[in-house]
A and B are shown apart, each in its own frame.
Chain A
Amino acid sequence: MLNSNLLLCAVFVPTIGAFAIPFIGRFSGIARNAAAFILVFVPLAASALLAPAVLSGRPVTLSYTLPLGCDFTLTADALAVFMAIVSSFISFVIVLYSFGYIRKYSHLSEYYTMVVFFIGSMMGLVYSANLIFIYLFWEMTAIASWRLIGFFREKTFVLKADKAFLITVFGALLMLLGFILIYTETGSFDLSIIKSRLGPGALSNTVVLLILFGILSKSATLPFHTWLPDAGVAPSPVTALLHAAVLVKIGVYVYARLFVATFSIGAIWHTVVPALAAISALVSAGAALVETDIKRIIAYSTVSQIAFIFLGLAVGGEIGLAGALLYILMHGLAKGGLFLCAGIVEHGTHTKDITKMGGLFGVMPMTAVSFLFCAFSVMGVPPFGGFFSKYMVISGALSNNTWIAMTFLVGAFLTILYLFRLFNMVFMGEEGTQSAREGSRIMVFSVAILGALSLVAGICIQYPASFVETAVKQMLGF
């Protein structure tokens, strides 16, 4: 009983509470920030409290029967709780950072409302075990992301926000069609009911294709990746939140939830998806090598790293899956950190063009070190966290298809190249044309946490690994 209440809290406290923020914001800015802080802390705490029960093999489920097969079902299994903890923790750090970053702009109430609403919708998506509610929360995250990308309200920025919204909605509508196909076959949107009615056979390829449209567009994988670099016009904490750490993981998570944990899909997809991912990884890594806008480079890097996660999930097998889940954690921490550092750099130098920067190490040493730590993790340098996940994903792929694994090795190499290039141009070398200064204390503190955690997560790899192991076992039904 307590656990199911925790589950409801994790989802509904932020989604509903978000709409109190504008009213609180009318009276006091501090109260508003405090409210945002609490509303983001609740899902983190609730998810963490769910972990012990779930890890001991007792998934928490609650369900209300509704007409037309739209039963409202929330399920917390190890996969869901893992995803929830990762995303709410990173969001939590990002909200802390926002207190420093966003302070001077107007429309703060809208900012915090949308951030909290986003996190609540994310929790809803993660815990939903019903296709229609997955879709519902999926689009709620899209609404929040639309408002947040256009936050600065320049004409071109809003245009880019609209672009992101339209591409993801296009994908989501095709995915909805896929869900409807499943519904006409089975008469329900509830995952467990569908599973029992569908039997052990594979999903039809049409359905998988339609759902993949949604997943690839949300996770910004080729050919639907173009909105992600453009979305860099958003405030930096938003890019970190939406486009690196949390939102782009939605597609990956739904892939894991539907195609790995619930249904089986045709053998062909175990080749097609890794191949798509491989192309995506190489193309975006190449783009990251030539871009000069700091946020676009990191955004392309996200596109490329997401491909590694897809690879891990698609090749299947325990090692690949575990690697993919760990990748979600490691990439979230590190990439969130990189974007937040980029925000500090951007604030300090008033530009996003890396050719105008240089020698910032002396001015902002803490940021530079945190940036380096996060970059090491993304590159996969041992003993940083990213090493383990990258290693597991590629070794999982090796047993499946050598060529694809080789391609991804090239992708990993390119990652090292473009991140070093970025680090050199921003932090090393001669002083740039701009006069710069370090970020505010809370901002530096936030990036330091993420940088440190990228290292700690690698050194203490056994804790996340054992969590992930349980999740993989539950997904594969052992």
Chain B
Amino acid sequence: MPSLLILVPLIGLVALNLPNKDIMRKLAFWFALGLFITQILLAIQHHPVFWNYQLEKMDSFFRVNFSVDHLSFIMLLCIGIVSTASLLVARHTIHDEKERFKLINLLIIASIGMSGTVMTSDIFSMYIFLEITAIASFILIAFEKNIYALEGAFKYLMLSATATIMILTSIAILILAAGSTSFSDISQAVRSPGNNIVVVAIGLFLCGLMIKGGVVPFHAWVPDAYSAAPASVSVLLAGIVTKVAGIYTLIRTITAIFGLDGATRSALLMLGAISILVGAFAALGQKNMKRMLAYSSISQIGYIIIGFGTGTFLGIAGAVFHLFNHSMFKALLFVNASAVESRLGTMDMDKMGGLSAKMPVTGATSVIGMLSAAGIPPLSGFWSKLMIIVALWRSGDHAYSIIAILAGVVTLAYLLIMQRKAFFGKDNESVSEAGLGIKTASVMLAGVLVGIGISFPFIFNRFLAPLREIIHR
């Protein structure tokens, strides 16, 4: 029944937009919240009755092959949590009810797109869902319709369109080679040697995904888009959209279709290491909080790529785990940024200072998010980085391992700058704590980070150990 995760929101969306909007506007928030929480519960529970039971009529109506494995569960969980956070932030940062209603609609569309992306096992459907997500994201970034928002959205649109062309071209070539669009058929076709055009197609495809994921050298749009978007959208965008659109798809297509050969492997390691360093050092120099967080995202995505590049179970599990953790702590830090923005009206860190005195929840959770991002135990980010670094060392990439480990100091350095300038300093008595929704979102995300950090062994056994299946297929 996984198709219900697409169908129910879709029907709901239509129903919400029927005439008689006044009631619907009030309902929209609760409907979306219900959807996201159901998705979280289903993804944690992974109950076979829901996930394996086939609804013949409905599934054939879609003509999409949904196949859900443990990687999809983790991603669905991630999507659910971050969307919930984004929704809660939207409720308290956008005061005009009409505008909020529009935003919630777009949020649901984006989440349909993302859920579809992570559940399908067909390269063309994956592309369709990617585009659904991307289009919703353009509008979301441009939501405030001012010059910066339009600039950010335009940059994203242009780069994303380039990526789309690359992906679509490559899909066309792959269909020619394989005669089908399902992962397994293409996989067989591309692994038969001596077909150079297929190699080009794979290259195009992966570059397209890296643009969407914001991996260096395709990262230029990231800081603009993240800092231009309204608060709740940057939570969604930084937290999950780029991860699903760029990184998940990369992991999925490489493991399920293209395979990780020597050349791809060294390219991934190299790009990952460059991303880590470029992102981290660029973040050091930022004055705008959201831009700093955006560069930090680039750097953390580098960790995911480099971990995945090892090609071993430990590395891939570490990468997926870091993807999850990164979603959580980056969403948390963006939620905190939006709390600050809602109270101060600026993102310039030089104008902040001592905020944690009057914003204790925001201040405390930002410390948790920061320590987790820097990979300080016992928070969740530590364990995923540890797995990645151990995997790198074991696979013999000692230099990359040392880069990954020492970049932790730079990460900590720029996050400490953020703490020092914004939260930890002479008390600022003139602000007040953010609204209830933002606080709830921060506490929820911080709870996830701490909870996973201290119950890592159980998380490992339940969610990460089964990831072996995606490598040995």
Question: What residues of chain A have their CB less than 8 Å away from a CB belonging to chain B?
Answer: 66-68, 70, 106-107, 132, 135-136, 139-140, 142-143, 150, 153-155, 158-159, 162, 165-166, 169-170, 173-174, 176-177, 180-181, 183-184
Contact = CB atoms under 8 A, between A and B. Distances in A.
Interface of B: 314, 354, 357, 371, 374, 376-378, 382, 386-387, 389-390, 393-394, 401-402, 405-406, 408-409, 412-413, 416-417, 419-420, 424-427, 456-457, 460-461, 465
A156 to B, nearest CB: 10
A68 B313 CA distance: 12
B402 A177 contact: yes
Interface centre among B354, B390, B465 (most CB of A within 10 A): B390
A150 B367 CA distance: 14
B426 A153 contact: yes
Given A70-B457, A166-B412, A173-B408, A106 B427 contact: yes
A136 B378 contact: yes
A120 to B, nearest CB: 12
Given A143-B376, A181-B393, A183-B390, A150 B465 contact: no
Nearest to B364: A22
B354 A153 contact: yes
Q: Which 8 pairs of residues, A with B, have the shortest CB-CB distance?
A: A136-B377, A66-B457, A162-B416, A170-B409, A158-B420, A139-B377, A139-B376, A67-B460
Contacts of A136: 377-378, 382
A180 B400 CA distance: 14
A135 B378 CA distance: 10
15 contacts: A66-B457, A106-B427, A136-B377, A136-B378, A139-B377, A139-B382, A140-B377, A153-B354, A155-B420, A155-B426, A158-B425, A162-B413, A165-B412, A173-B409, A184-B390
A445 B199 CA distance: 78
A166 B409 CA distance: 7
A83 to B, nearest CB: 21
A436 B394 CA distance: 62
A169 B412 CA distance: 9
A158 B409 CA distance: 17
Nearest to A181: B393
Contacts of B406: 170, 173
Contact of B457 (A67, A173, A176): A67
Given A68-B387, A162-B413, A165-B412, 17 more contacts: A67-B457, A70-B457, A139-B376, A140-B378, A150-B424, A155-B420, A158-B425, A165-B416, A166-B416, A169-B376, A169-B409, A173-B406, A173-B409, A174-B405, A176-B389, A176-B405, A180-B389
Given A153-B426, A158-B424, A180 B376 contact: no
Contacts of A150: 424
Contacts of A174: 405
A176 B385 CA distance: 11
A176 B382 CA distance: 11
Contacts of B416: 162, 165-166
Nearest to A151: B424
Contacts of A154: 426
A40 B211 CA distance: 53
Contacts of B393: 177, 180-181, 184
B335 to A, nearest CB: 21
A154 B427 CA distance: 9
Nearest to B412: A169
B424 A153 contact: yes
